[in-house]
């Protein structure tokens, strides 16, 4: 099976190439079928690989000799493969969601949109599977360029172009930082593979008797910067709400559902394989960096999420908040932290993508994503409303959703974590439930609220173009089905008993610095026997119920109030100015902040 | 943020980044040393694969998967540009006005076009032997075509540039790379394995799959640059936003 690992990445590439070559002549249904087949084939390969023992694939058969190689390796470990499988499944869902109904493709380029989605899939799968730093950078860039183009897809309006531009600027800066960091490591070790670099750092530390020096720390900071930009951690997060608010809905599902999470995955992967040994960065420094940025992102994201009336922007800030929670889980640097986070990511992908899917239906029916303008407009679509509310409850951590299980497993790791996780889940879930109550039940007061002039202008989200060419009357069947299936997936993550055990075993292998190098370079996969694992506990379920109840309470309290503004948060809101220069300044300042946190 | 605050934030960040990077640079290995672990291994591998240009051996054999990724980045960028620069519903296409070109420029273009094209093809074809290859040669070859625009005029370029064909070639170049990689799997080895006969060192037919992968990239880059420039030129010369009175009509 190891030999076939590259196919997970290249099958979508081939699909995209065929769509571009023939896109001029094939009708739209054929193009969409080809894209769906390629994405599904990749998902199937990843799923089959998950059932086999972990394998590595040396591309071009340039396997290691005496622990050195001139080639690139793809590593089919459970966590990476799982992420590739999640990506591919989500791409299939997105293609189904945009099937037939999504806006007419550009004239003469019938296959352009599905081709871009396939390239996006290839970039993310490649990033998830590669065991090579430079190769990871290449796929990081591929994800990036496709992401910018998809974000700006609706060029008729000004804001998508601005969102794509901001996304492009900030992510490119991250890319440059990563390249500098990789260059430093290469200069020191002469290696680009993660396992080889980690081993070379450890050997030089053993020879000189000292740990990682300034060069190693600088490399860590620079590479981590790029991954935190992708993960949209504060203060690198500014691009995300601007991009998510304007990107087409199917693209938002991918951006929030899995691309942002790739940043957290990359940070964990690079730290454990390269920097976790004696020649790397002390665990305390890495933990502090990820923990501080994770907690700040979670709190800032939740605070901003609560105050939005533009529903897509609201969901975008909830992604910032939840990625903050993921980074907090990763920061524990323990197998249990990783396992809990992995389950959380799986559940979140289903819930968040479903929420975006429902928002897209609102946009296509009413030409608006403004909470105030949509007031009561959803009363005639109970099904969509139920799905939207269920998504909100999943975000809030209601058992037995996968989000709740992942949250519970991470919370158990430290006594103060439940407070943070419950608060952030309740606020983000509560914001979604507030929207659900106003839009689908017509609760609270109708009409526009102009009471917030003192708080400065805000993004409202009215008068948006529907993505279906013209407004649809009924919610299209594929769109509703996809949202329901995504939520069912989020539910399955929390209820399928074997999954948690498998993820726990996978996380143990993932966190094993020496075991990874031995598996990749020496062909000796470390054995992590499936042992006992935690599943639902009374405490975990209780905390999940608590955060869900708090979310319902918050929504109920706020639904009748005109203003969503939280006193004292105006400065934070003003920082999200939409000015590219501001965002670039914060990104550069963030490099300084990460250095301080790592070196402290 | 005000401009002042923004500049202070930026300056603080730049200062910290510079300090971090400068500290790292003091720990780099000395300049001009003889310790080149990857270089030594790559040269040995390139010679073993009978590829005279080690850089091409790294690009199309040892780390050929990176090149697939990079080719895909270009491919995706061009597709993204095509989508972003498309003619939208409120724009219309107008024929650009012809412009007189000075006779000297005309002669220069007529002379240089075939020369440039030949150099581009040479650089692509000799990628496995001498500096250059598909990426570099592809850009040169695509440039040669655009001498038509500079030396003659836009309609002349359009006549000799069947865009549909170049779009087809763009996709075909990308697909060819992916499929050549799969040949390694079919031959029972790894993806992108160099499974063809290696040929005679320092001749055109050496290096096994290197010249083929190189050619696939050459085709992709040439067509990608042509398609890219075509859309930029169309946006600049042909596409105009609709005026208000037209819209209300």
Residue A429 Cα to chain centre, angstroms: 17
> Which sign, positive or negative, has the C-alpha torsion A86, A88, A89, A94?
positive
Convert the pLDDT of each residue in B107-141 to its tens digit: 999 899 999 999 999 999 999 999 999 999 999 99
Proportion of chain B above pLDDT 90, given as a percent: 71
pLDDT at B244 over 60: no
Nearest CA to A102 among A85, A80, A117? A117
Kindly list the residues from chain A whose CB atom is less than 8 angstroms away from the CB atom of residue B68: 10, 13
- Separation CA A190–CA A68 (nearest Å): 10
Please report the pLDDT score of residue A126 as a whole number: 97
**How many CA atoms, within 13 angstroms, populate the side-chain half-sphere of residue A537?**
12
DSSP A84-137: HHHHHHHHHHHHHHTTTTS-PPPTT-TTHHHHHHHHHHHHHHHHHHB-BHHHHH
Q: Chain A contacts of B63, Cβ < 8 Å?
A: 70-72, 134-135
Using DSSP's 3-state secondary structure scheme, residue A65 falls into: strand
The verdict on a CB contact (< 8 Å) between B72 and A155 is no
Per the CB < 8 Å rule, is A575 touching B15?
no
Q: What is the pLDDT of residue A451?
A: 46
Higher pLDDT, A327 or B97: A327
pLDDT tens digit sequence for B163-212: 989 999 999 999 999 999 999 999 999 999 999 999 999 998 899 999 99
DSSP string, A352-407: HHHHHHHHHHHHHHHS--BTTTTTTGGGG-HHHHHHHHHHHHHHHT-TTSHHHHHH
| pTM reported for the whole predicted model | 0.95
Residues of A in Cβ contact (< 8 Å) with B58? 70
Contact between chains at B6 and A155 (C-beta distance less than 8 A): no
Residue in B14, B175, B185 nearest the CB of A21:
B175
pLDDT at residue number B242: 60
| A492: Cα separation from own chain's centroid | 19
- Strand stretches in B29-128, DSSP E: 91-93
CB-closest option in A10, A17, A141 to B171: A17
> Is B84 in Cβ contact with A155 (below 8 Å)?
yes
Q: Can you name the residues that pair with A130 across neighbouring β-strands?
A: A74
Counting one residue from chain A and one from chain B, the pairs whose CB atoms sit within 8 A come to 244
Q: How many CB atoms lie within 10 A of CB A260?
A: 26
Contact A115 B23 (CB under 8 A): no
Query: Quick check: B246 pLDDT over 50?
Result: no
Q: What CA–CA distance (Å, rounded) separates A146 from B81? A: 10
CA distances from A332 to A283, A289, A297, A328 (A): 10, 11, 16, 7
Contact between B197 and B95 under an 8 Å Cβ cutoff? The reply is: no
Q: Cα(A286)–Cα(B14) distance, rounded to whole angstroms?
A: 22
Q: Is B208 on the interface with A (CB under 8 A)?
A: no
A287 vs A475: CA distance, rounded Å: 46
Mean pLDDT computed over B26-39: 89
The closest of A248, A246, A247, A224 to A236, measured between CA atoms, is A224
Per-residue b or e along A293-311, where b marks 16 or more CB atoms closer than 10 Å to that residue's CB: bbbbbbbbbbbbbbbbbbb
Q: How far apart are CA A245 and CA A149, in angstroms?
A: 15
Q: In terms of CA atoms, which chain A residue is nearest residue B31?
A: A187
Average pLDDT, stretch B6-30?
A: 94
Distance from CA of B170 to the nearest CA of A (A): 7
| Cα–Cα separations (whole angstroms), residue A462 to A213, A369, A448, A562 | 53, 6, 10, 17
Parse chain B into domains and list their residue ranges.
52-242
What interface predicted TM-score (ipTM) does this complex get?
A: 0.94
Q: Are A294 and A233 in contact (CB under 8 A)?
A: yes
**A299/A318 Cα distance (integer angstroms):** 10
**How far, CA to CA in Å, does A477 sit from each of A97, A105, A198, B144, B203?**
9, 20, 50, 51, 61
CB-CB under 8 Å, B174 with A19:
no
CA separation (Å) from A375 to A1, A94, A368, A434, A520?
53, 27, 11, 11, 56
Nearest to A222 by CA among A264, A168, A183: A183
Least confident of B10-19, B144-153, B172-181: B144-153
- Could you tell me the CA-to-CA distances from B174 to A17, A330, B68, B213, B218 in Å, in that order? 6, 37, 8, 10, 10
Judge whether A416 and A360 are in contact, CB under 8 Å.
Answer: no
Contacts of A214 in chain B (CB under 8 A): 20, 23-24, 26-27
Burial of B12 (0-12, 13-18, 19+ CB in 10 A): middle
Residues of A in Cβ contact (< 8 Å) with B184? 60-61
What pLDDT shows up at residue B101? 87
**Mutation for testing the A interface, residue in B190, B196, B223, B235 having most A CBs under 10 Å:** B190
Contact A73, A57 (CB under 8 A): yes
Write out residues 166-185 of B within 8 Å (CB-CB) of A: 167-168, 170-172, 174-175, 178-179, 181-182, 184-185
List, in sequence order, every residue forming a beta bridge with A370; answer none if it has no partner: A310
* CB within 8 Å: A585 and B1: yes
Q: Residue A464: left if φ>0, alpha if ψ -120 to 50, beta else—which one?
A: beta
**What distance in Å separates the CA atoms of residue A5 and residue A434, rounded to the nearest whole number?**
44
B17 and A595 within 8 Å at the Cβ level: the answer is yes
Beta carbons of B63 and A595 less than 8 Å apart: no
Q: How is residue A461 written in tokens? A: 């989200």
Contact flag B72-A142 (C-beta cutoff 8 Å): yes
| Structural element, H or E, at residue A73 | strand A73-76
Q: Say if B236 is an interface residue toward chain A (CB within 8 Å).
A: no
**Which residues 33-62 of B are in CB contact (within 8 Å) with A?**
35-39, 41-42, 45, 58, 61-62
Q: Is A184 close to B10, i.e. CB distance below 8 A?
A: no
User: Any CB–CB contact under 8 A between B10 and chain A?
Assistant: yes
Cβ burial, residue A566 (10 Å; 0-12/13-18/19+): middle
Q: Using CA atoms, how far apart are residues A232 and A340, in angstroms rounded to an integer?
A: 20
Residue A440 has what DSSP assignment? I
Which has the higher per-residue pLDDT, B248 or A109?
A109
* CA dist A193 → A135, A139, A206, A257, A500 (Å): 9, 15, 20, 28, 30
Element spanning A58, H or E? strand A55-58
Low-confidence ranges of chain A (pLDDT < 50): 450-455
């Amino acid at each position: 099976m190891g030999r076939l690992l590259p196919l997970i990445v290249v099958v979508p590439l081939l699909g995209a190439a065929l769509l571009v070559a023939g896109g001029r002549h094939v009708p739209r249904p054929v193009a969409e079928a080809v894209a769906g087949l390629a994405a599904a084939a990749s998902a199937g390969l990843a799923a089959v690989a998950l059932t086999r023992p972990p394998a590595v694939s040396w591309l071009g058969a340039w396997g290691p000799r005496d622990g050195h190689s001139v080639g690139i390796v793809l590593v089919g470990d459970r966590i990476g493969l799982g992420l590739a499988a999640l990506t591919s499944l989500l791409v299939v869902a997105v293609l189904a969601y945009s099937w037939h109904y999504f806006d007419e493709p550009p004239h003469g380029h019938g296959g352009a949109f599905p081709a871009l989605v396939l390239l996006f899939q290839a970039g993310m799968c490649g990033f998830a599977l590669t065991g090579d730093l430079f190769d990871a950078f290449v796929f990081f860039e591929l994800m990036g360029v496709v992401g910018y183009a998809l974000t700006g897809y609706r060029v008729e309006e000004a804001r998508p172009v601005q969102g794509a531009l901001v996304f492009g600027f900030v992510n490119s800066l991250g890319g440059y930082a990563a390249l500098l960091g990789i260059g430093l490591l290469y200069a020191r070790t002469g290696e680009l593979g993660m396992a080889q670099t980690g081993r070379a750092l450890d050997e030089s530390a053993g020879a000189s008797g000292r740990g990682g020096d300034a060069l190693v720390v600088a490399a860590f900071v620079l590479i981590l910067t790029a991954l935190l930009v992708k993960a949209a951690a504060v203060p690198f997060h500014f691009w995300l709400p601007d991009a998510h608010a304007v990107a087409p809905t199917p693209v938002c599902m991918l951006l929030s559902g899995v691309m942002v999470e790739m940043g957290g995955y990359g940070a964990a992967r690079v730290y454990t394989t390269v920097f976790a040994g004696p020649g790397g960065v002390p665990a305390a420094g890495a933990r502090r960096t990820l923990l501080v940025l994770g907690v700040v992102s979670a709190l800032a994201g939740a605070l901003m999420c609560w105050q939005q009336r533009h529903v897509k922007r609201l969901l975008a800030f909830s992604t910032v908040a939840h990625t903050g929670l993921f980074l907090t889980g990763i920061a524990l640097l323990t197998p249990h932290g990783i396992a809990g986070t992995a389950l959380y990511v799986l559940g979140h992908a289903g819930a968040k993508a479903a929420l975006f899917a429902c928002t897209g239906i609102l946009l296509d029916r009413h030409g608006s994503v403004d909470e105030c303008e949509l007031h009561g407009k959803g009363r005639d679509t109970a099904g969509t409303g139920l799905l939207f509310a269920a998504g909100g409850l999943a975000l809030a951590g209601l058992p037995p959703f996968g989000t709740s299980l992942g949250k519970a497993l991470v919370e158990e790791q430290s006594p103060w974590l439940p407070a943070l996780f419950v608060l952030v889940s309740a606020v983000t879930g509560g914001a979604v439930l507030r929207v659900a109550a106003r839009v689908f039940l017509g609760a609270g007061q109708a009409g526009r609220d102009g009471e917030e002039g003192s708080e400065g202008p805000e993004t409202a989200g009215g008068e948006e173009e529907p993505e279906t060419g013209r407004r649809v009357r009924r919610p299209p069947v594929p769109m509703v089905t996809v949202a329901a299936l995504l939520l069912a997936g989020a539910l399955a993550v929390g209820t399928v008993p074997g999954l948690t055990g498998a993820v726990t075993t996978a996380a143990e292998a993932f966190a094993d610095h020496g075991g990874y190098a031995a598996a990749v370079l020496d062909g000796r996969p470390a054995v992590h026997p499936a042992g006992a694992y935690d599943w639902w506990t009374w405490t975990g379920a209780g905390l999940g119920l608590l955060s869900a109840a708090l979310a319902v309470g918050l929504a109920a309290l706020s639904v009748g109030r005109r203003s969503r503004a939280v006193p004292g948060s105006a400065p934070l809101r003003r920082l999200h100015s939409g000015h590219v220069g501001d965002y670039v300044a914060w990104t550069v300042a963030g490099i300084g902040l990460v250095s301080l946190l790592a070196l402290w | 943020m005000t401009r002042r605050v923004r500049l202070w934030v930026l300056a603080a960040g730049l200062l910290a980044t510079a300090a971090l990077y400068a500290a790292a640079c003091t720990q780099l290995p000395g300049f001009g040393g003889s310790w080149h672990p990857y270089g030594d291994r790559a040269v040995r591998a390139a010679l073993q694969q009978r590829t005279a240009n080690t850089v091409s051996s790294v690009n199309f054999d040892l780390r050929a998967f990176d090149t697939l990724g990079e080719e895909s980045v270009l491919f995706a960028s061009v597709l993204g540009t095509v989508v972003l620069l498309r003619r939208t519903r409120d724009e219309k296409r107008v024929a650009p006005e012809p412009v007189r070109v000075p006779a000297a420029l005309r002669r220069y273009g007529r002379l240089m076009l075939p020369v440039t094209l030949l150099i581009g093809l040479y650089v692509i074809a000799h990628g496995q032997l001498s500096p250059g290859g598909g990426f570099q040669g592809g850009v040169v070859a695509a440039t040669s075509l655009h001498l038509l625009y500079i030396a003659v005029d836009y309609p002349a370029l359009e006549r000799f540039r069947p865009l549909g064909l170049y779009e087809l070639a763009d996709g075909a170049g990308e697909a060819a790379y992916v499929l050549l990689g799969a040949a390694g799997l079919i031959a029972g080895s790894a993806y992108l394995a160099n499974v063809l006969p290696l040929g005679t060192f320092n001749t055109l037919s050496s290096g096994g799959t290197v010249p083929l992968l190189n050619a696939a990239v050459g085709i992709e880059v040439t067509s990608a640059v042509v398609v890219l420039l075509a859309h930029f030129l169309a946006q600049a010369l042909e596409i105009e936003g609709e005026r208000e009175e037209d819209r209300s009509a």
